Structure 1
Amino acid sequence: MWVGAAYVLMPDGTVKRRPVYGKTEDVVRRKLTELQANSDQGIPSDATGWAVGAYLTYWLDCHVRPNLKPATADNYAVIVNNYLIPGLGKKRLNKLAAADVRRYLASLANSCLCCRAGTDARRSADQRRCCAVGRCCSRRPSKRLVQLVRAVLRSALQAAVREELIRRNVATLVQVPSPGYGINRGLSLVEARAVLGAAAGHRLYALVVMALYLGMRRGELLGLRWSDIDWADGTLTIRGNLQRTGGELRMVTPKSEGSRRTLPLLGLVVEALTRHRKLQAVERDAAGDRWVDSGHVFTTTIGTPIEPGNLRHAWFPIVQAAGLDRRVVFHGVRHTCITLLLDLKVPPHTVREIAGHATTEVTMTVYGHSSLDEKRKALTLLDQHLS
């Protein structure tokens, strides 16, 4: 066995001594020549020593967090740390094969999430060791989760291909079942009116009105400040999102360039905001020294920003009071606004600018489905024409 070594560029940007081996001197010399030539051209040595887990940690720190929004980076980190590193972390990056990815995703899809963690979060404290005593709740991952795990791995490996750490992205060779997405996730016109009626006496009535009339996202509503409202011009400017990232509440930049937008304030929205400002003044006086002047339009009873995840505590009682016999998440109100605008034949490009979508394609693909009444009307017209 012959051995040679050279100082060459490594995947992390450092220069290290890299050994090569061969049965003859000529084989070793060829390997050394190739290593040095690639290093001189700025091409790093193959990530022979990198495990998938080490690379994914590097990818999160050097690619994801500097370039993506904090909430997105946190979601990627959850997938990496909870699923990819435990499942594929010990594999060598340059040895990872499509079969490895396929087997892991199949195993994930058929496993119990509680058994993976050793507890069952849905059970009481005394029952959370279900796996330890042989009881399994069979809480399977959703198709959406499996798809997300594969998507994050594919994105990470694509970055490795761009940096010439690996030759190809094996995650693109693996297919997973696509999750089904339901349509009509919003409210009908009758349901929307019922929700407005049920919310009329609530302290966050103006928030529901603005979500339904302006199609604003949850983070946009909770991040809205009084300084963003121009009462003289009758406009509102959306400048950011309130999100919990890195263990704290932060104002982050809008989701896309189109999300930074100015909307007119009209009718019921102005009335609701005016009433809300008076209500907030009353709450400020009642709180006294405990009041925190955060400047936000929608706050807790002591003036602090509302935790985005806590909004459901106010929203679901309103849905129940409206008499809805199905579960509608708060984002469904935004969906309702966009769908109703399209039903009113508002041009798609105008709806896109109101909703803050990046492209009109998003508006039409996600929200531009026809209702049953529209289909019935269209087929009735066709029937009359053919008859």
Structure 2
Amino acid sequence: MAKRNPNGEGTIYRRKDGRYEGAGYVLMPDGTRKRRRVYGNTWEEARKKLTEMLANSDKGIPAVDTTETLGIYLTYWLEHVAAHKVRASTVYSYSKCVTAYIVPRLGKKKLAQLSAKDVRLFLDWARQACQCCAQGRDAARPTNERRCCVAVPKRCCERRLSPRMVQYLHAVIRNALQHAVREELVQRNVAKLVQVQTPRYRVGRGLSAAEAKALLADVDDDRLGAAYVLALYLGLRRGELLGIHWSDVDLDGGSLEIRTALQRINGNLTLTAPKTRRSERPVPLPSVCVDALRRRRAFQEAERSAAGDDWQKTGLVFTTRRGTPIEPRNLNRHFYPIRERLGLNVRFHDLRHTCVTLLLGLGVPPHVVRDIVGHSALEVTMNIYAHADLTEKRAALDRLGTLLSGE
């Protein structure tokens, strides 16, 4: 006769294959109670597993849901978790990674059965596979424009993901699984067990003081010249510049509040919160910035009069000639002919680098620089943005040579 447990302690019985099966009602993640089963080669082994499962349930620890797939969970995570924790642009980036890469490869995997090996193999695939072939992009092209996996003869364009993108995919899975651990849907975050090589980032060198002066002189009479002044003096990001409203500016008091940023999200220009919490900040306006903004307001008033009924009132400081928001990439395009005239090999974002470097070179305390430019941490200011130009390095080595030579 099979041994019987008291009521509420579950049941254990012998299966036809010789193994023992235990079953009992336990707490589930959704708050309900369901009958779950455990197995063992002996009665005692099955009893231990059943006792542990019931004890965890009595402590309020829900059992793992073995039916939910990773794809279903990621949909829930994006809609109910990520959407309330990070910016809309970040949620959009997450969703693109989930729908284009993660779900097609791992979406049918049971969440409770996902292993570190599964994550590692997925990242190896993402690193090595031609995405044009993997996602069928070539098949969507007209026949005469096909050049990859469905072309005749077949050939691969070898368009692979960058190391940064592979790292980002890993981060998305890791962040999602970490919340699954908090909600006790899984026991551990298997993505944390997988190591991904940190890519090498290109750090902009910024401008020297002389180059920055030449740039400011070149844009002095430009309708968007104030954007370059604020970028160089305050280290504002592109989206922060384009998201400034006149209501955020106090020209008489000489101050500016960074509250919003303009970004293109899912095909639409959208005003969002700045990049980090520290990015929402008050910034004092030096007189040169106040003067530049006054000139910018005069430009805008003239454009408003010229546009007449076509003018769209947005309240933004930097707008098109009809008052609409400026496409962020168009600000980059505006910068291209300027840098070519001046012989500069930098990006628009490198003006932010320039601000940090010049402020630190003037002896401004790093924590003050961090608060001016809105970095999330002091380490970002010192490790990524702070760097000396060749003139400073040459002067430092000359001083060392003087010391060692005794001259």
Q: Distance in 2 between matches of 1:41 and 1:62?
A: 26
Report which structure shows greater RCO (CA 8 Å, sep ≥6).
1
Residue identity opposite 2:387 in structure 1: H
User: Which of these residues, 242, 260, 281, is aligned with residue 240 of structure 1?
Assistant: 260
The answer for the alignment partner of 1:47 in structure 2 is 65
| Structure-2 change in CA distance of 1:15 and 1:29 (3 Å) | farther
Q: Distance in 2 between matches of 1:312 and 1:126?
A: 33
Q: Does 1:127 align with 2:127?
A: no
Q: Does 1:368 align with 2:386?
A: yes
Residue identity opposite 1:319 in structure 2: R
The answer for the alignment partner of 1:151 in structure 2 is 171
The answer for the alignment partner of 2:270 in structure 1 is 250
Q: Distance in 2 between matches of 1:32 and 1:126?
A: 64
The answer to whether the Cα contact below 8 Å between 2:207 and 2:351 also exists between their aligned partners in 1 is yes
Q: Distance in 1 between matches of 2:64 and 2:113?
A: 11
Where 2:173 maps in the other structure, the secondary structure is: helix
The answer to whether the Cα contact below 8 Å between 1:242 and 1:252 also exists between their aligned partners in 2 is yes
User: Which of these residues, 9, 14, 32, is aligned with residue 15 of structure 1?
Assistant: 32
The answer for the alignment partner of 1:213 in structure 2 is 233
Where 1:179 maps in the other structure, the secondary structure is: coil
The answer for the alignment partner of 2:357 in structure 1 is 339
Residue identity opposite 2:34 in structure 1: R
Deviation at 1:304, TM superposition (A): 1.6
Q: Distance in 2 between matches of 1:174 and 1:52?
A: 17
User: Which of these residues, 112, 123, 128, is aligned with residue 94 of structure 1?
Assistant: 112
Where 1:342 maps in the other structure, the secondary structure is: helix
The answer for the alignment partner of 1:264 in structure 2 is 284
The answer for the alignment partner of 1:117 in structure 2 is 135
The answer to whether the Cα contact below 8 Å between 2:219 and 2:225 also exists between their aligned partners in 1 is yes
Deviation at 1:247, TM superposition (A): 5.0
Q: Does 1:378 align with 2:402?
A: no
* Alignment root-mean-square deviation, CA: 2.7
Deviation at 1:6, TM superposition (A): 5.0
Where 1:139 maps in the other structure, the secondary structure is: coil
The answer to whether the Cα contact below 8 Å between 2:256 and 2:284 also exists between their aligned partners in 1 is yes
The answer for the alignment partner of 2:188 in structure 1 is 168
Deviation at 1:125, TM superposition (A): 8.6
The answer to whether the Cα contact below 8 Å between 2:245 and 2:317 also exists between their aligned partners in 1 is yes
Deviation at 1:131, TM superposition (A): 1.8
Indicate the larger mover: 297-306 or 84-93: 84-93
| Structure-2 change in CA distance of 1:62 and 1:337 (3 Å) | same
Unaligned ranges ≥5, structure 1: none
The answer to whether the Cα contact below 8 Å between 2:87 and 2:272 also exists between their aligned partners in 1 is yes
CA shift digits 1:28-70 (9 cap, x unpaired): 6665554444334332221311222222222222321112121
The answer to whether the Cα contact below 8 Å between 1:70 and 1:246 also exists between their aligned partners in 2 is no
Residue identity opposite 2:77 in structure 1: W
CA shift digits 1:172-210 (9 cap, x unpaired): 222222211233442333433343344344321111111
Q: Distance in 2 between matches of 1:61 and 1:40?
A: 31
The answer to whether the Cα contact below 8 Å between 2:251 and 2:290 also exists between their aligned partners in 1 is no
CA shift digits 1:204-246 (9 cap, x unpaired): 1111111111111112111111111112212222222223345
The answer to whether the Cα contact below 8 Å between 2:313 and 2:323 also exists between their aligned partners in 1 is yes
Q: Distance in 1 between matches of 2:225 and 2:309?
A: 26
Where 1:237 maps in the other structure, the secondary structure is: strand
Unaligned ranges ≥5, structure 2: 1-14
Q: Distance in 2 between matches of 1:330 and 1:10?
A: 52
Indicate the larger mover: 110-119 or 213-222: 110-119
The answer for the alignment partner of 2:304 in structure 1 is 284
- Equivalent positions of 1:52-67 (< 5 A) are 52-67=70-85
Q: Distance in 1 between matches of 2:349 and 2:143?
A: 32
User: Which of these residues, 339, 353, 369, is aligned with residue 319 of structure 1?
Assistant: 339
Q: Does 1:330 align with 2:337?
A: no
Where 1:20 maps in the other structure, the secondary structure is: strand
Indicate the larger mover: 33-42 or 266-275: 33-42
The answer to whether the Cα contact below 8 Å between 1:8 and 1:16 also exists between their aligned partners in 2 is yes
Q: Distance in 1 between matches of 2:138 and 2:350?
A: 29
Where 2:155 maps in the other structure, the secondary structure is: coil
Where 1:243 maps in the other structure, the secondary structure is: strand
| Structure-2 change in CA distance of 1:106 and 1:301 (3 Å) | same
Where 1:249 maps in the other structure, the secondary structure is: strand
Decide which structure has the larger Cα Rg and report it: 2
The answer to whether the Cα contact below 8 Å between 2:357 and 2:388 also exists between their aligned partners in 1 is no
User: Which of these residues, 93, 96, 99, is aligned with residue 81 of structure 1?
Assistant: 99
The answer to whether the Cα contact below 8 Å between 1:241 and 1:251 also exists between their aligned partners in 2 is yes
The answer to whether the Cα contact below 8 Å between 2:147 and 2:157 also exists between their aligned partners in 1 is no
Q: Distance in 2 between matches of 1:368 and 1:347?
A: 12
Q: Distance in 2 between matches of 1:125 and 1:322?
A: 44
Q: Distance in 2 between matches of 1:243 and 1:63?
A: 22
Q: Distance in 2 between matches of 1:298 and 1:15?
A: 54
- So what's the TM-score if we normalise by structure 2? 0.85
The answer to whether the Cα contact below 8 Å between 1:5 and 1:17 also exists between their aligned partners in 2 is no
Indicate the larger mover: 85-94 or 195-204: 195-204
The answer to whether the Cα contact below 8 Å between 2:235 and 2:356 also exists between their aligned partners in 1 is yes
How many corresponding residue pairs?
Answer: 383
Identity of paired residues, percent? 51
The answer for the alignment partner of 2:213 in structure 1 is 193
Indicate the larger mover: 369-378 or 134-143: 369-378
